[in-house]
Amino acid sequence: MLLGLSFPKFGQPAFGWVALAPLLAVAWDCGRARTLRRAFLLGWIAGLAYFAIALYWLVGVMTQYGGLSTPVAVLVGALLMAYLALFVALAAWIVAVAVRAFGPHALLVAPAAWVTGELGRTYLWSGFPWALLGYSQVTVLPIAQTASLVGVYGLSMLLAFTSGTLTYALVAPRRRFVPLASVFALIAVLAVWGSWRIRDQALTRAGTPIRVGVVQGDISQDEKWAGALQDAIMKRYIDLSRAALAENARFVLWPESSLPFYFELDPAGVAPIRRLAREGHAAFLVGSDQVEQVRFVPGQPPPQERERYYNAAFLVLPDGLTGAVYRKMHLVPFGEYVPLKKLLFFVAPLVEAVSDFSPGDKPATLPVAGHVASTAICYEVVYPQLIAGFVDRGSELLTTITNDAWFGTSSAAYQHWDQAAMRSIEQDRYLARAANTNISEFVDLYGRVLGETALFEPAVQVREVRFLTERTVYGHIGDSVAYAGLVMAIVLIAGSRKRLHR
């Protein structure tokens, strides 16, 4: 429960520092009693509580927009939570295995065990790295600066280390407070350094400034594809964009899937955007689905599908031409595709309601005002390595466009924003976010919110941000600290088996 309550909108970041201590105490007890299966089971139960609190909103999304009855939506949500809970169970089992072989000192390797689970749920299957423990600290700005060194996984390891040393202090026979004092000293050093980094704010004076506008259309899901409302929807976006241009915006962002038509299939519908770009001498980034015809190759079997659909972002340059297209690479399970369709036969209404999108295959960047920007579409902003890939390809400004209408006023909208903000700290980049219904914001490279909109109302925000080229330590080393933890966990398991067989 402490894990789930470490996140918004009901949670408190302070819980993140001690959330793992009860689970680690149980793992220690199981390791001492050699009941490893019990450690796994209790870790799984803890994971269920964790994700039930953090991801409760999934049920509402599937009932309101997926066409499922409440009992079936609860079942589907429970299956996903049960799967994610396996990675918490894995972490508890690793600690118990290590304790069985090495005694209470093994509690100090809790960071390695925990990050193994977080990496697992990021990369295995389709991946779902939502509500990683490190995200709980994104609003605690002095501590959050640690992400510029070791990323969100490293921040998760710091929190796990704190819980591990606290548990060690409660159960170790001697010298029990030395690790706890050491971790408190480390936290103090990081907090002082983080505070200095924010106060110094040297990079807010570096780079090239540009005024960026984010447009929040507030179009409900049931209205977006109503043909009779197409003109009204476009008028709203054009009017809000004119307001952004009046504040000297030179780069204007519309939300994910904001167009009530297909960008490439309706030249007349896109014409007002091209005209506005030319009049305002500004670039526009607009979200739209993209359709691609699947070509038949002579001599090969005919393709099973004739068309592929992509969730895409189109860049319109100041001369009115299309400058770049980015196709979303990480699709939302049960939102943009349904995994294991044949196995999950009882979610037929959801299969029918969900658009069957194809993933993009390259992290395309965006040429803006003589510089390079990038965008992440909706949920994929929670993947640190995707954003790192953009920066590796020269991105000097991060953007994300999203349609959080699915989330309503639930915790999901706030959790989503916090996870996007972490990318700025990790990469030393400003980030602009355009959402359809809630939390269109700007954040600077220190994680400070520069401007935000209210939920469920049409709005526009314009702020000066900067194109930056500097790289953080994390930008250079990536998730090497997290992978070192994974290697340590593997070595511990192997070493534990070897030690017990002597």
Mean pLDDT per 10-residue segment, the chain (502 residues): 94 96 96 93 98 92 78 89 97 95 92 97 89 97 98 98 96 85 96 96 92 92 75 95 97 94 93 97 96 70 72 97 95 69 57 68 94 95 96 97 83 92 97 90 94 85 96 97 96 81 58
122 and 193 share one domain:
yes
Phi and psi based region of residue 218 (left: phi greater than 0; alpha: psi -120 to 50; beta: remaining) = left
Q: Find where tokens 């009204």 sit.
A: 232
pLDDT of residue 502: 56
Q: How many domains does the chain have?
A: 2
DSSP state of 297: P
286 and 407 share one domain:
yes
Strands (E), 191-242: 208-216
383 and 490 share one domain:
no
51 and 152 share one domain:
yes
DSSP string, 2-25: TTGGGSTTT--GGGGGTTTHHHHH
pLDDT of residue 163: 97
Q: List the catalytic residue out of 224, 328, 441, 452.
A: 328
How far apart are the C-alpha atoms of 472 and 468, rounded to whole Å? 11
155 and 215 share one domain:
no
pLDDT of residue 73: 86
Q: List the catalytic residue out of 30, 118, 224, 256.
A: 256
Sign of torsion over alpha carbons 347, 349, 354, 358: positive
Our answer to whether residue 292 is catalytic in this structure is no
Exposure pattern of 428-440 as b/e (b: 16+ CB <10 Å)? bbbbbbbbbbbbb
Our answer to whether residue 328 is catalytic in this structure is yes
pLDDT of residue 410: 87
Determine the structural domain holding residue 367 and report its residue range.
209-469
Our answer to whether residue 256 is catalytic in this structure is yes
483 and 440 share one domain:
no
pLDDT of residue 125: 80
Element (H, E) at 59: helix 57-64
345 and 431 share one domain:
yes
37 and 89 share one domain:
yes
463 and 484 share one domain:
no
307 and 397 share one domain:
yes
Q: List the catalytic residue out of 30, 336, 378, 426.
A: 378
71 and 146 share one domain:
yes
30 and 122 share one domain:
yes
Cβ atoms of 87 and 121 within 8 Å: the answer is yes
CATH of the domain at 269: 3.60.110.10
User: Tokens standing for 472?
Assistant: 């953080």
